[in-house]
A = this chain, B = another copy of it.
């Protein structure tokens, strides 16, 4: 018998974070992710851990900054407008090299937009909505189970690389209820050197957590260290799922909820005898550029499908680098591509 229970994505993400050793959650309400802080407000005190409803998203990310600076596992969650407000704070986390997890359950934009699902914050998540040359790992699941599983990875990766990690969902993945085993990937937190953390100052010189670097080339050298770290991440942490890509004439590239819609369309296309495969990035940053590049050429075509007007498609184009044509199909503003429309687009490309 399965150990699974029905949970919505928000709750599964929250419980998985707790299982992954979350010490402190700080957040501010915003639809469609309210179940995360609500769940945390009940569960964290039960576990004797910290829950604070912050006065704003900015306060939340800075509370995370404070907790993380002491070596605690800290997290916040929000949705698009709230994530925009956190950009300065995320840039600081990156600059100060503090591990932290941020969940973005994307909704329709720009501005207040609406509360429907969307994938329109891809650029923000993968190219630094904040200022400065930083990147952070961005993980996108496509089921409640995977969203939960990724939380364990998110905290470990944050610790391993000392930086913020974003976990990315959307209104559907947040609200959808599916059978899930939140303990499936449970494991003890990875052990990393946290001797940089603040507090318990004994037998060592003081620790400073800081993103300010003055003096000739000091900030540059700090940045070069960050860039070297980013390169290691690019080289070692890329994750993706490739299905039926070997023989494919057309590869659909889609992540998160879009990948589920795409896979329906692909199944129908295969039934019609069309050779179509699915490439699903799980790390949006680092983007799986090399695996895609390896598939490019040989007369093969690509089609990016997103709940946006074309964001990830730029990464596909950069990866393919002219070796294959790359088409795009997307809807946004809370509207979701239909299986039929994606199928049509597939057929159009293979005509």
Residues of A within 8 A of B (CB): 58, 80-81, 83-85, 87-88, 91-96, 106, 108-114, 116, 118, 120-121, 123-124, 127-134, 210-214, 217-224, 226-227, 308-309, 311, 314, 317-318, 320-323, 331-335
Closest B residue to A81 using CB positions: B88
Q: List 23 A-B contacts (CB under 8 A).
A: A84-B87, A84-B88, A87-B124, A95-B113, A109-B133, A110-B128, A110-B133, A110-B226, A113-B131, A113-B211, A113-B213, A124-B127, A124-B128, A129-B129, A132-B332, A133-B311, A133-B333, A218-B333, A220-B332, A220-B333, A220-B334, A227-B309, A320-B322
Closest B residue to A223 using CB positions: B333
Q: Given the known inter-chain contacts A332-B223, A333-B220, please indicate yes or no for A124 contacting B130, CB distance below 8 A.
A: yes
Q: Please, which residues of chain B bring their CB within 8 A of the CB of A88?
A: 81, 84-85
Q: Please, which residues of chain B bring their CB within 8 A of the CB of A323?
A: 322
In the complex, given contacts A92-B112, A95-B111, A114-B212, what are 12 additional A-B residue pairs having Cβ atoms less than 8 angstroms apart? A80-B132, A85-B85, A110-B128, A111-B132, A113-B132, A124-B128, A129-B129, A133-B332, A223-B332, A314-B318, A318-B318, A320-B322
A128 vs B218: C-alpha distance in the bound complex, in angstroms?
A: 29
Distance (whole angstroms) from the CB of A319 to the closest CB of chain B: 10
Cβ 8 A contact of A129, one of B87, B227, B321, B332: B87
Question: Could you tell me if A132 and B114 are in contact, using CB atoms closer than 8 angstroms?
Answer: no
Distance (whole angstroms) from the CB of A162 to the closest CB of chain B: 13
Q: Please, which residues of chain B bring their CB within 8 A of the CB of A335?
A: 217, 219-220
A214 vs B108: C-alpha distance in the bound complex, in angstroms?
A: 10
A184 vs B91: C-alpha distance in the bound complex, in angstroms?
A: 38
A58 vs B273: C-alpha distance in the bound complex, in angstroms?
A: 54
Question: Could you tell me if B219 and A108 are in contact, using CB atoms closer than 8 angstroms?
Answer: yes
Cβ 8 A contact of A110, one of B113, B131, B309, B333: B131
Q: Please, which residues of chain B bring their CB within 8 A of the CB of A227?
A: 309
Q: Given the known inter-chain contacts A110-B133, A132-B110, A133-B309, please indicate yes or no for A321 contacting B332, CB distance below 8 A.
A: no
Q: Please, which residues of chain B bring their CB within 8 A of the CB of A120?
A: 131-133
Question: Could you tell me if A219 and B113 are in contact, using CB atoms closer than 8 angstroms?
Answer: yes
Q: Please, which residues of chain B bring their CB within 8 A of the CB of A317?
A: 318, 321
Q: Please, which residues of chain B bring their CB within 8 A of the CB of A111?
A: 91-96, 132, 211-212
Closest B residue to A114 using CB positions: B219
Q: Please, which residues of chain B bring their CB within 8 A of the CB of A80?
A: 131-132
Closest B residue to A324 using CB positions: B322
Closest B residue to A326 using CB positions: B321
Cβ 8 A contact of A121, one of B81, B84, B131: B131
